[in-house]
Each structure stands twice: as C-alpha cells, then as structure tokens.
Amino acid sequence: MKRPSAISGYEMVAIQMVYFGASAGFIYPSLLIRSTGDAYWVPVAVWAAAALLSSWLYSRMLARLEGGKLIAGLCSSIGKVWSFLLILPILLFLGGAMIVLLRAFSEVITMTMLPTTPISFLNGMLLAPAALALAGMMPIVRSARVFFLVTILCSSALLLIGLSNINWTLGSPWLRTSGDFLGNKRFYAGSFLWMGFVLTAFIGPYTAKSAKRSWKSYALALCCALPFIACYIYLPVLTFGKDLSRHLTFPFVSKMDAIYHYWIVFENMTAMFVSVTMLYVLLILALKMHALGESFQLMMPRVNAALIYGVLLVAVYWGATAISSWRVVEDLMIVTVGLRLYVLFVFPLLGMAVLILAGKRREKERAL
C-alpha cells in the first residue's frame, strides 16, 4: 500500500535536524547574543514554544487536505488567483531565505578558508542544490538520511571538543531575565531558525494521520536540536565573554578557530565546521528550491519544470551576488521579520479557515 505522505517519521526528523544544522551554527548565535544581556536560554525557549505552536497550526491545516497537497487544496477551494495572493508572502520568504542562506555561507567561506575567492564564484555552489531539487523530493529525502547520520556525528564531536577552554562564570546570569529581548529587533530576526516545518508543509501530500505524525517528528527533532543550539550560543560566550561575543560576526566560527590541542588530528577545526555546515546548507538549499519550484508548478502546470528551476537558479544566484556586504544580509533578515511572522502564524490560520469553509461547502453540495 502506498504511503499517504512521501515523508516518514524518521525522514522528517532527519530533514529537520539538517535544517537546524544549516541555520543555527553561523547566523543565529550573533543575532541572539546581541538581542539580550541576560540569560540566553530564555529567548531560545520562547522561540521553541512559538515554533511548536506554529507547526501545530500547520499540522491542523494539513490534516484537512485529505491526501492532497497544500497548494492544490487551496487552489481547488478559492481559485488560483486568491491562492496566489495568499501564498505570495511565502514564495517571497522562500526566495529570500535561499538568497540570504547562500550569501551568508559564501561569506563564511570567504572569511575562514578562501579569502581571495570572489563571492560570485562561491555562489556557484547553488548548481548542486538546483540539480537535486529538480530531481525530486525523494532524492532530497534520501540525501537527508545520509547527511543526517554523517553530520550529526561530526557536529557532536566538534561541540564536545568545543567544551575545552571555557569559563562557566562568563555565562552568568544563568537564570535572570528582564524580557529585554522582546523589544530587540534581532530577537525577531532570528525567527528563520524555527521555520523548518513550513518547508515540509509544501512538499508532499498529507492526511490527518500523516500530518499528526509529521508534527510529532518535528517536535522530537526540535527537542534533539535544542542542546546543539545552546552550544552554538553558549560556547563562544563561555570562551570570549559576552562583550566580545556581541562584536563577533560569527561567534561559533571564532570559537572553533580558537581551539588548539596537540592530540587533535585535524588542526583546523574551523575548516571542519565549515565543511560539515556545507552539507547542511546544500541540502536545505535544495529543499527550499524544491518547495518553491513545486509551488510554481502547481500554480502553472503547463510550464516546463526545468524552466521553472532554471529561472529560480538564475534569480537566487543573481540576488545573492548582488548583496554587497554582510551588513546588507543582516538588514535583510531584520526588514523581513513581518514576512516571516505572517508565514509562521497568519498563513496557517487563513489556510485552515479556507479549507474548513471549503469542506463545509462541499458537504452542503453533497446534501443537495
């Protein structure tokens, strides 16, 4: 019997863990450290609770698809024009997220490993994710299962090594918080880390059972990722202190660069971290491009898939190359906060309302 959803529980966990790995290690720590001067785990816990709420809303919406895909369900309920207007912020979010992720990782490579290599050349790594996205969802899922097993071991080893040369007193206060992060724009700019479930909502058919299973798998992945996220944030602080960490562009990358032990076979821990993160990033770029490409395919079924992905490849590459500096990347993450909040909370509520009303309308038609 064919499964109603293309993604099993384990595959969902693998995809979400890879998503956290691609987003948490090099962009998120700087934003969160600069968002508050109190305990860092509190804003993390707030966003984790918000992510669970958002993913639950999405799961309730997906449960009403009756084995169909989200975009197709919306189109059959309110038509293509209104569906396009409803998902337009999501399409913009996915495209912008790809541009920022690609440009940010190219910046990391430039700063740590290849300082003389042009950004335009490094952005060419997008070719591999584009080819994987065009191949379909199952190749991405199989890659995620392999990458998850490899990268989780490497990331765990790096974090364990990172526990050396730390001063626990530098992390205080451990419990006190004034809630100052709620008024800081960088707290909201870090919302991208908690949007993994949004991607999987657009890449497969769902039933009530598969939607519930996917939400449980996401919750499990989130709980497993929290220790990694905490290490990415706290290890630089426990090494350099809060004041210096606030001024570092990539705090955890700087932490890896500060590690030196004669008994470690690989001397350049930064290169190891960047290499592992590259696997995360390439897979998530493929996942985002597939979600974006499949959305356009459902909206424009007559257009050739290769053409859609080709246009997306050129657009994302041009966007990432056009960004002039890291400051622009940070500004983009801040100015698009409203877009991400819409995707996290407003869209699933609107989508649920649309699907509920459409279901009631169909029931009345059957009764007649």
Task: Provide block-wise average pLDDT over 10 residues at a time, the chain (368 residues).
Answer: 59 91 87 89 94 94 88 87 90 91 90 86 92 89 88 88 85 83 90 90 87 93 93 91 87 84 70 87 92 88 89 94 87 90 94 86 73
Q: What is the DSSP letter of 5?
A: S
pLDDT value at position 132?
Answer: 92
What whole-number distance in Å separates Cα of residue 49 and Cα of residue 341?
14
Instruction: Measure Cα distances from 161 to 21, 258, 267 in Å.
Output: 17, 11, 12
Q: What is the 3-state secondary structure (H, E, C) of 56-86?
A: HHHHHHHCCCCCECHHHHHHHHHHHHHHHHH
pLDDT value at position 128?
Answer: 92
Instruction: With beta carbons less than 8 A apart as the criterion, state whether 32 and 190 touch.
Output: yes
pTM for this model (two decimals): 0.91
pLDDT value at position 3?
Answer: 43
Start-end of H helices in the chain: 9-24, 28-33, 41-62, 70-112, 119-122, 127-135, 137-162, 185-189, 196-201, 208-240, 242-246, 251-257, 269-299, 305-322, 326-335, 337-341, 347-367
CB atoms closer than 10 angstroms to residue 368: 5
| Cα dihedral 218→222→223→224 (10° resolution) | 100
Q: In this structure, which CATH number among 1.50.10.20, 3.30.2290.10, 3.40.50.970, 1.20.1740.10 belongs to the domain 9-367?
A: 1.20.1740.10
Residue type, 281: V
pLDDT value at position 245?
Answer: 87
